[in-house]
Structure 1
Amino acid sequence: MWLHITAVEVWSPAESENSRGFLKGEMQLEAEGQSTEELLDWRFRSVGSIQHIGKWRGSFFTLGVVCFGSLGSGGIFFNLVLYLMRVWDESSATASNDMTNLQGTMYFTALIGAFLGDAYLGRLWTVLLFLVIYATGSVLVGVAVTLQERATEPLPENLKAFLFAALYITAVGNGSHDPVLQSLGGDQFDSQTDKTTFFNWFFVFSNVGQLVALSFVTYFQNNGQWALGFWISGGVVLLSIPVYMIGMPFSRQLRPGGNPFSRVLQVFICAFRNVRVSPAGTILYQTQDEVGLPLIPGSRRFSHSKDFRWLDRAAVVGSPEDKGNPWRVCTVTQVEEVKCLLRVAPVFVAGVLFNTIIAQLTTLFIAQGATMDGHIGKHFNMPPGSMQAFTVLACISFTPFFDYVVVPWLRKRTGYEKGLRLQKMGLGMALSIVAMVVAVFVERKRLYAARSSPLIDVPYAVMPVSMYWLVPQYVLLGIALVFAIVGQMDFFYSELSDGMRSIGSSLPLLCRGLGNYASTLLITIVTDITTRGGELGWIPRNINRGHIDRFYLLLAVIMSVTLVFYAVAAHFYTYRRVAPSKARAEPVDLTR
């Protein structure tokens, strides 16, 4: 057994409430103490304080893999809407829904990899497993597109089914390895400042890969060389596997902590068993071994918190026989692990709605661009899918500036070491509202040009309006992503327990997935309502006859309400506090 229970202790929170405030700034009130994490190498051997693994040496190959992986996924998914519309003759709404469903699945399966990495396989080996699945799916996509190019009209439906099967395999592999890779990179560092810097660079390298996909791979696809573009993407994903394997001996990881969902379920069951017991004035249960490690492998102890007090019933000992049985009584650390999940829930909901707007980058924005003039001069014509390069460039250029200029200045002025995570996410949401308002006016300009043109009813005809009117909304969403997504990566990774870090890292991706599903649902509802009575609706097959501007305005209104909800939730948020590793355990008077 890795842990042996040698003592039963009671817990003293030494409570001082975290100060709150969305606009007041985050207080670093964690008493971090000495780290009690057991660091292991790629073969699960304890490495102690060995210097040749971990830190930036261990994370360097992680950054390379995320760059290759995002290049591959960008080459497959960025232009997929146009591929489905032009080759498979899908409507704008159908192609958008196919895309958002696919992306929703990709981000939703992040929980699969996160669960396996945290609970059983370890993060190093979980990443390798799903990289292989990712590469397999991307190669099958290349095969499917090649078969489509060689097929005769009409294209067989079984070929389309094969294509979507390959796409969903790719989505599972890509979505499942990404959060584990992110948390694995964070595990290479000890200080919170280094972790935050790594997350920023993780985001930058991800966007570098996307930029290459947008500027290189999509060039071939928009010239009709779809198979070549998809094969380049698959080849890059294959290349990421040996790159990752070379870096494995230089990386460190934490011991898998067992099934985190069982621990969560145990807390709720124990709290329900003691529903008639008041925890006020009682002594809460805590176990530890002789070196101060909690009963959860790979996780530090948490200080007791005063919110969600009804869960404290799970740590009340009913009888001496209950001690040591997690299905009858849970430790304070285990209860606090569940409280962390409940605290981040409102932030997670707001993140889902934020990503409903982000979903338009790969759907309706591209459908708009396909009807606009992308020429610069006589010879260069920007593909509609490549317009996302402006979002990526905004991310790449703004992230280092924010990390090395803005954040140090804020830390110096405020003294808050964590980098204002909640404020960053709120700023990202506010910028997304501005982007949608800008998009409304740009779409109205496009509609005016389209309805003044004799080509209004010609499919995919280029209207006399420059596609570069879309640049402001792409750039604004790029800056919004820097604030919101990097903030989410840092926030969810840091606010959950050490034994749930990959699950924490999967939550931003899960927000993306549910945001895509929410976009699909919203488009379906809007289409159903606006097409009643024989009307074409807001998002018809020919968007020149529609009103996408009204849909964008609806998104802006929804996001405005969400921002108010988020501001209230952030104002009352209480940050987790890690107990010092050598803290003395004393009785708790919960009536104070």
Structure 2
Amino acid sequence: MEGAESSRHSERELYALTTPNEEAEQASNESKQGGWITFPFITGTLFGLSLVAGGWASNLIVYLITEYNVKSITATKIFNVVQGSNCLFPVAGAIIADSFLGSFPVVAFFAFVSLLGMIMFTITATIQSLRPPGCAVGSHTCETPSNLQYGVLYMTLLLASLGLGGTRFTIATMGAGQFDKPNDQATFFNWYFSALYFANAISFTAIVYIQDNVSWGLGFGICVIANAISLVLFVLGKRFYRQVKPNGSPFTSIARVMVAAIRKRKILKTSGRQDYYFGFTEASKMEDNLPTKSFRFLNLAALKTQGDRQLNGLCTRSWKLCTVEEVEDLKTLIRIIPLWSTGIFLGISIGIFSSLVTLQALTMDRHLGPHFKIPAGTFLLFNLLATAISILIIDRFLLPTWRNLARRTLTPLQRIGIGHIINIFGFVGAALIESKRLHVARTHHLMSQPSLAVSMSALWLVVPLGVVGIGEGFHFPGSVGLYYQEFPKSLKSTSTAMVSLLLAIGLYLSPAITSLVDRSTGWLPNNINDGRLDNVYWMLAVIGAVNFGYFLICAKMFKYQNVEDHNGPSGLAS
């Protein structure tokens, strides 16, 4: 035991000796940068890029149907794949920035890529040869795009999605990194989400209106100008930014644990504290703790053997030996994966719902007064507003009221569970409204006339959009709070991207689900007046109920690692 203690002290001394002496000087230089002087540059850039992203993504289905003669259900599939990319690419961009390049070069490069994408959008909207000849929506004689036209369109979508992905999360991380005080960071995030929602609101209304009623080229041209201004503004603030040095990929340690455990699978396990490797920095904190008994196979990765790499007689981390902390970090991820997976269906259902709502709006009366017609792409704004308003009400009113009445806080798992339930009710409401719409269409004999609007106000769609948005206001912040609270320290920045990752998976899967439903049931023809969209929504509600049961099982089995803020081992049990 004395030998083990002496070894650990030697490890800490070695770590201290290997620390560069220039760190103090570097910290002094960094302290002169950052702070609120960077705020207008970063927030202005975020606002402009968010305006651009909303300007092309929110009205994409209408653009594909009206300008490229793409069939309505095919347009929803393309839209969901693009939306999935818009959720997946930010995760990749955040990992690249945090692990390898740093935030500034990533944001600058991908803001330029976004600019190229918007230029391509403007070109496709203004040069007729890049689109098929126009024809009436729903006509069976419309000419489909050529391979060249599809190729240019897909390249444009790829550039625009990459531009969004490399900037959306990365600029948030960079902005928070300019501040040292948690209160300042919290204030920045408040402004971040305010700018994000405000920019999207402008995109979903003003830019979409210009695209639908004035010119697609002008609408995309405004996005080009906004993107160019954002890029210039971001680069101009370079000398004020605090540059945070990337620390390497945290996923490497996860891979090392798995590889090391497999390589040592034939070694007999022992239980002595001296047999496990705690590393240089965490020895004093973890010296009284052995690896937990769950997933025991992974404990082999931290077991010291004679063949492990050594430096001055001391073991060092390698692909054969990991620290106990790294092993426990991987176990934490494994424990939370089942809960995380319950959100994948939510991503699928949201993808299907948001795309089909746009198709419904195209077939309904969208007039607001005698002279104004709401663009179909604008209706998704109601979902966004419901989410934003519900988050504000939950944080400012519901949570404090719950704490006062119940003498305990509403746990992340409880917020997620409430979100699941509300979303089910949202799909039930969508099914009932669609049943009414189909009844009106049949009464007026519009089944074979998709170009004629049903005499039913499209404002009815605001009801299910609002309910689903409220459900998202419970579910997604609860999920972010759970992942940030429970994820290992090395993965804290990545934890906030886990919601975007599950949305990406859900949105990628939604076209496959849509195709399966179409082939199996015939509920989703090109003319939705001939289909049964209401049955699709009933299906989403039923599967959502089954998924909620799966969530309850996962929540019951889950135990918080940070239990000081909770009254029981499970949020639903407390």
Do they fold alike, i.e. is TM over 0.5?
yes
Pick closer, same or farther for the CA change 1:191–1:491 going to 2, 3 Å.
farther
Query: Do 1:72 and 1:237's aligned partners in 2 also have CA atoms closer than 8 Å?
Result: yes
The structure 1 residue matched to 2:447, chosen from 446, 456, 480, is 456
Match of 2:154 in 1: 164
Query: Do 2:277 and 2:302's aligned partners in 1 also have CA atoms closer than 8 Å?
Result: yes
Secondary structure of 1:569's counterpart equals helix
Match of 1:231 in 2: 221
Secondary structure of 2:516's counterpart equals helix
Q: Counterpart amino acid of 1:372?
A: M
Q: What's the Cα RMSD here? A: 3.5
Q: Give the deviation of 1:232 after TM superposition.
A: 1.7
Cα shift readout 1:380-422 (whole Å, capped 9, x = no counterpart): 21111111221222233333333333334455667778x7333
1:98 aligns with 2:78: yes
The structure richer in helix per residue is: 2
Give the Cα separation in 2 of the matches to 1:467 and 1:279: 68
Give the Cα separation in 1 of the matches to 2:63 and 2:53: 15
Structure 2: segments with no counterpart, 5+ residues: 1-5, 12-19, 134-142, 310-314, 564-574
Q: Give the deviation of 1:340 after TM superposition.
A: 3.1
Give the Cα separation in 2 of the matches to 1:407 and 1:304: 36
Query: Do 2:419 and 2:474's aligned partners in 1 also have CA atoms closer than 8 Å?
Result: yes
Q: Give the deviation of 1:265 after TM superposition.
A: 1.1
Query: Do 2:273 and 2:290's aligned partners in 1 also have CA atoms closer than 8 Å?
Result: no
Give the Cα separation in 1 of the matches to 2:325 and 2:100: 20
1:167-566 alignment to 2 at 5 Å?
A: 167-187=157-177, 202-223=192-213, 225-248=215-238, 251-252=241-242, 254-276=244-266, 277-278=268-269, 280-283=271-274, 284-289=276-281, 307-319=294-306, 321-322=308-309, 323-410=315-402, 420-530=411-521, 537-566=522-551
Give the Cα separation in 1 of the matches to 2:183 and 2:336: 21
Match of 1:125 in 2: 105
Match of 1:19 in 2: none
Pick closer, same or farther for the CA change 1:455–1:107 going to 2, 3 Å.
same
Query: Do 1:148 and 1:159's aligned partners in 2 also have CA atoms closer than 8 Å?
Result: no
The structure 2 residue matched to 1:107, chosen from 65, 87, 96, is 87
Q: After alignment, is 450-459 or 141-150 more displaced? A: 141-150
Match of 2:570 in 1: none
Match of 1:46 in 2: 27
Cα shift readout 1:105-144 (whole Å, capped 9, x = no counterpart): 2322233212211211123332222222222222222222
Query: Do 1:9 and 1:286's aligned partners in 2 also have CA atoms closer than 8 Å?
Result: no
Pick closer, same or farther for the CA change 1:479–1:60 going to 2, 3 Å.
farther
Give the Cα separation in 1 of the matches to 2:429 and 2:255: 46
Q: After alignment, is 284-293 or 325-334 more displaced? A: 284-293
Give the Cα separation in 2 of the matches to 1:415 and 1:280: 42
Secondary structure of 2:278's counterpart equals strand
Query: Do 1:371 and 1:460's aligned partners in 2 also have CA atoms closer than 8 Å?
Result: yes
Query: Do 1:115 and 1:259's aligned partners in 2 also have CA atoms closer than 8 Å?
Result: yes
Give the Cα separation in 1 of the matches to 2:161 and 2:110: 10
Give the Cα separation in 2 of the matches to 1:544 and 1:376: 23
Aligned residues: 530
Higher alpha-carbon Rg: 2
Secondary structure of 1:526's counterpart equals helix
User: Which of the pair has the greater relative contact order for Cα pairs under 8 Å at 6+ separation?
Assistant: 1
Query: Do 1:197 and 1:403's aligned partners in 2 also have CA atoms closer than 8 Å?
Result: no
Give the Cα separation in 2 of the matches to 1:132 and 1:465: 44
Q: After alignment, is 102-111 or 113-122 more displaced? A: 102-111
Give the Cα separation in 2 of the matches to 1:303 and 1:58: 45
Q: Counterpart amino acid of 1:477?
A: V
1:568 aligns with 2:553: yes
Query: Do 1:7 and 1:288's aligned partners in 2 also have CA atoms closer than 8 Å?
Result: no
Q: Give the deviation of 1:379 after TM superposition.
A: 1.4
Pick closer, same or farther for the CA change 1:72–1:150 going to 2, 3 Å.
same
TM-score by length of 1: 0.80
Match of 2:16 in 1: none
Secondary structure of 1:464's counterpart equals strand
Query: Do 2:365 and 2:453's aligned partners in 1 also have CA atoms closer than 8 Å?
Result: yes
Give the Cα separation in 2 of the matches to 1:58 and 1:573: 41
Query: Do 1:196 and 1:490's aligned partners in 2 also have CA atoms closer than 8 Å?
Result: no
Give the Cα separation in 1 of the matches to 2:507 and 2:77: 9
Pick closer, same or farther for the CA change 1:254–1:518 going to 2, 3 Å.
same
Query: Do 1:269 and 1:327's aligned partners in 2 also have CA atoms closer than 8 Å?
Result: yes
Pick closer, same or farther for the CA change 1:408–1:139 going to 2, 3 Å.
farther
Q: Counterpart amino acid of 1:495?
A: E
Pick closer, same or farther for the CA change 1:49–1:65 going to 2, 3 Å.
closer
Give the Cα separation in 2 of the matches to 1:421 and 1:350: 14
Q: Give the deviation of 1:518 after TM superposition.
A: 1.7
The structure 1 residue matched to 2:45, chosen from 34, 42, 65, is 65
Pick closer, same or farther for the CA change 1:7–1:52 going to 2, 3 Å.
farther
Give the Cα separation in 2 of the matches to 1:444 and 1:241: 47
Secondary structure of 2:447's counterpart equals coil
Q: Counterpart amino acid of 2:170?
A: V
Q: Counterpart amino acid of 2:442?
A: R
Secondary structure of 1:259's counterpart equals coil
Q: Give the deviation of 1:236 after TM superposition.
A: 2.0
Structure 1: segments with no counterpart, 5+ residues: 1-5, 12-37, 295-301, 531-536, 579-592
Q: Counterpart amino acid of 1:456?
A: M
Q: Give the deviation of 1:73 after TM superposition.
A: 1.3
Secondary structure of 2:27's counterpart equals coil
Percent of pairs identical after alignment?
28
Q: Give the deviation of 1:515 after TM superposition.
A: 1.1
Give the Cα separation in 1 of the matches to 2:441 and 2:501: 37
The structure 1 residue matched to 2:67, chosen from 87, 93, 113, is 87
Give the Cα separation in 1 of the matches to 2:153 and 2:113: 16
Give the Cα separation in 2 of the matches to 1:305 and 1:409: 38
Q: Counterpart amino acid of 1:460?
A: S
Give the Cα separation in 1 of the matches to 2:365 and 2:51: 26
Query: Do 2:304 and 2:321's aligned partners in 1 also have CA atoms closer than 8 Å?
Result: yes
Secondary structure of 1:380's counterpart equals coil
Q: Give the deviation of 1:58 after TM superposition.
A: 5.5
Pick closer, same or farther for the CA change 1:135–1:232 going to 2, 3 Å.
same
Give the Cα separation in 2 of the matches to 1:360 and 1:196: 34
Give the Cα separation in 1 of the matches to 2:176 and 2:483: 12
Query: Do 1:67 and 1:207's aligned partners in 2 also have CA atoms closer than 8 Å?
Result: no
Give the Cα separation in 1 of the matches to 2:293 and 2:30: 36
